[in-house]
Chain A
Amino acid sequence: MYKILLASRYLIKRRISYLAFLAVALCVFIVIVVMTVMIGLVSDFKEKNHSFAGDCVVGTDSLVGFAYYADFADEVAKLDFVESTSTVINTYGLINRSGTDVSRGVQIFGIDPKSHSLATGFGRTVHYHKDDISKVFVPAYDTNLPGCVLGIDMAMIRDLRGKYQFGQMPFNTKFSISCFPLTAKGALAKAGAGEINTKTFSYSDVSQSGLARIDSSLIYIPFEQAQLLCGMGGVDKRASRIHIKFKSDVRLGTGTNKVGALWRDYMRKNKDKAKANLFETVTVQTWKEHRRSFVAAMEKEQTVLTVMFSLVGITTVFIIFVVFYMIICHKSKDIGILKSIGVSNSGIIGLFSSFAVFLASLGSCMGVFGGWLFLRKINSIEDWLFARFGFQMWDRSIYAIGDIPNQIELRTVLVIIISAFAACLVGAIVPAWQGAKLRPVESLQVNQL
């Protein structure tokens, strides 16, 4: 009981305790804010990539694509753990807005909007046809033309607050898209002046995936139109990828392995077919593997940040250690007094450990509360800073980041609190142990440990 009494009095009566308390609170606050924002950004980025790719992708990066995809897609669709599939043409071309002479390179996705929305999050990214995704390629004006869905940054300008100004309907404009049609062997399918396939599309919608690179350079067109544009039609039709969505209870790795096994079996069965050589470049990947060049960079940033904060954490432990060392140095006489009335060494360590636990509890509570309050208001604060001083954490006209993530994860909070307790205990126990091992007469005589 004396430990609780004295520890609480040390906490209240000693001004240096307030410094230790503030050090703990400040560290907890900073780590919670930074980790929440960083984890939020990474999770958001991963979720957007997951939404863009579905769960599993069977396909090739080759612009030639691979043949006999339809039979395989049917086999995959029959698997009991697969919810839906979407076959996609992925190619590159030039886009030119009607009435202008400026062309720019774009990535082109040929999709069936309905199946693609089932297999990926595409349906949630469009603006004008959210309610009926099957009509996303039906233009509002030139109904004779096929529609196209532009990445939102190709169609609109993001304002300084990261918002877009949508009209009631997509504006009336047409785009001509040109591709080099390729044979199954990778050669140009046409020769001479007409070696390029060009088709005009009417702008029918925009897609906002939240992935800057996708939104600024990807255009969706109907699957069949894309197949014709890039020369993948004909006898043995080709496609680039099959995006697959698993049922919710299926583990990503398990499902992908099963699809991989099915693909190997399918290759074996079809190895004698004319264009079986195109199977060689086909891979079966989880969405993470498929998008690894983007996700890995973000994860690496998170790892670097975690390492940096581990270093900050070590510094914090040292600061708390120094503060505790100073407190316990000042209390060496008390240690001697307590020993003279029969307090054991473990009792001394227990006393200062209780002090550390009080400090950690109060510091953590204050830090978590401060962090929660700050994160709750972080976007309002940023808005105010932007309105008053033009300051933004990220320039929204450049970065496709909406609000600053502010959802505190319980797991993160627990890890940070446990770390704060560990830091305080380590900081307290070492000098307390040093003080406790002194003979009582030494503690009473000296003022320094």
Chain B
Amino acid sequence: MSNDKYILQAEGILKSYRMGAAELKVLKGVDFAIEKGEFVAIIGASGSGKSTLLHLLGALDKPDEGVVKFEGKEINWANGKELNRFRNKMVGFVFQFYHLLDELNVQENVYLPAMVSKSVLGWFSGSMVAKNRAKKLLCQLGLDERIGHKPYQLSGGERQRVAIARALMNEPKLLLADEPTGNLDSATGNGILEVFENLNRTGQTIVMVTHDEHIAARAGRIITLADGKVSSS
């Protein structure tokens, strides 16, 4: 499956967790591939290992066995520096609970990934560009009035849009979303999905994890996880 058209490939992924003396096998050999520009939904029942798989795809965790390839290159055995660069530049995460930093305002939360990628001197020279991009992203997501607000001053939908803007800050090739609407009402969740659809139309590759079939139906392709394996793709 090592073809240039694939942005992400998972081959024979195994992952288990220790629960006291017992070992809980979550993923029992997951194989799939995602093409550039796809909008893929990974669906499965609660506890099927969807989020675990997403964390492995984004290099937030390592599989016990198997390989995750990003643009044909294995990422699970990369060194720390490469992994940090991968998380900073190549992927953007959107979490169910937004995971914004409470001490920073909306704009600061958004341009934080750009700040992380730059040295102090680099930031002094490039901060205006980053701040303008953060502003632009927030405007695109309808948050231009909320730039100076703190996360606790925002609604759930607004927070999630801030999280999306942050994920897009460094123009990642892959957007990973873990139950992005799971904490939102259906109308707000629909708004978030529209954002994803619009992004996908501009060529953004998106992998979204959800347990809701209706939400998954908004994606271009659905991968179903059952009993630790891909049951349909």
Contacts and interface: CB of A to CB of B under 8 A. Distances in A.
Given A1-B120, A5-B115, A340 B99 contact: yes
Contacts of B113: 341-342
B99 A342 contact: no
Contact of A1 (B84, B95, B103, B118): B118
Contact of A342 (B104, B117, B120): B117
A211 interface: no
A342 B101 contact: no
A336 B87 CA distance: 12
A349 to B, nearest CB: 13
Contacts of B214: none
A4 B121 CA distance: 13
B88 A341 contact: yes
Given A2-B115, A13-B103, A340-B99, A439 B80 contact: no
A16 to B, nearest CB: 13
Nearest to B176: A340
B159 interface: no
Given A341-B112, A343-B84, A9 B104 contact: yes
Contacts of B133: none
Given A1-B115, A10-B103, A339 B60 contact: yes
Contacts of A344: 80-81, 84
B103 A342 contact: no
Given A340-B87, A341-B87, A1 B123 contact: yes
Given A440-B61, A441-B60, A343 B101 contact: no
Nearest to A338: B116
A338 B100 CA distance: 10
Contacts of B60: 339-340, 439-441, 444
A337 B55 CA distance: 13
B58 interface: yes
Tier of interface size on chain A: 20 to 34
Tier of interface size on chain B: 20 to 34
A328 to B, nearest CB: 14
B108 interface: yes
A345 B108 CA distance: 21
Most buried by A among B60, B85, B89, B166: B60
B93 interface: yes
Interface string A252-265: 00000000000000
A342 B61 contact: no
A341 B101 contact: no
Nearest to A440: B60
A333 interface: yes
Most buried by A among B58, B115, B166: B115
A10 B101 CA distance: 11
Contact of A347 (B86, B102, B116): B116
A347 B115 CA distance: 12
Nearest to B59: A440
B95 A342 contact: no
A242 B199 CA distance: 97
Contact of A2 (B61, B86, B112, B166): B112
Contacts of A345: 80
Nearest to B124: A1
A9 B103 contact: yes
Interface string A316-348: 000000000000000001101111111111010
* Chain A binding surface, main DSSP class: helix
A6 B116 contact: no
Contacts of B101: 6, 334, 337
Contacts of A333: 99
Nearest to A10: B103
Contacts of A6: 101, 103-104
Nearest to B122: A1
Contacts of A341: 87-88, 93, 112-113, 116, 166
Interface in B111-141: 112-113, 115-120, 123-124
Contacts of B119: 1
B87 A339 contact: yes
Nearest to B123: A1
A440 B51 CA distance: 13
A38 to B, nearest CB: 42
Contacts of A338: 116
Contacts of A9: 103-104
Contacts of B93: 340-341
B95 A444 contact: yes
A372 B220 CA distance: 70
A422 B106 CA distance: 35
Contacts of A334: 101
Nearest to A343: B116
Contact of B61 (A4, A13, A439): A439
A341 to B, nearest CB: 4
A85 to B, nearest CB: 65
Contacts of A347: 84, 116
Most buried by A among B89, B103, B108, B119: B103
Nearest 10 CB-CB pairings of A with B: A342-B88, A9-B103, A1-B123, A342-B87, A440-B60, A2-B115, A441-B61, A341-B113, A441-B60, A441-B55
Interface of B: 55, 58, 60-62, 80-81, 84-89, 93, 95, 99-104, 108, 112-113, 115-120, 123-124, 166
Given A1-B119, A13-B102, A340-B58, 17 more contacts: A1-B120, A1-B124, A2-B116, A6-B101, A9-B103, A9-B104, A337-B99, A337-B101, A339-B87, A340-B60, A341-B113, A343-B116, A344-B84, A347-B84, A440-B55, A440-B87, A444-B95
16 contacts: A1-B119, A1-B123, A5-B108, A9-B103, A13-B103, A337-B101, A338-B116, A339-B87, A340-B95, A342-B84, A342-B88, A342-B89, A342-B116, A440-B61, A441-B55, A441-B61
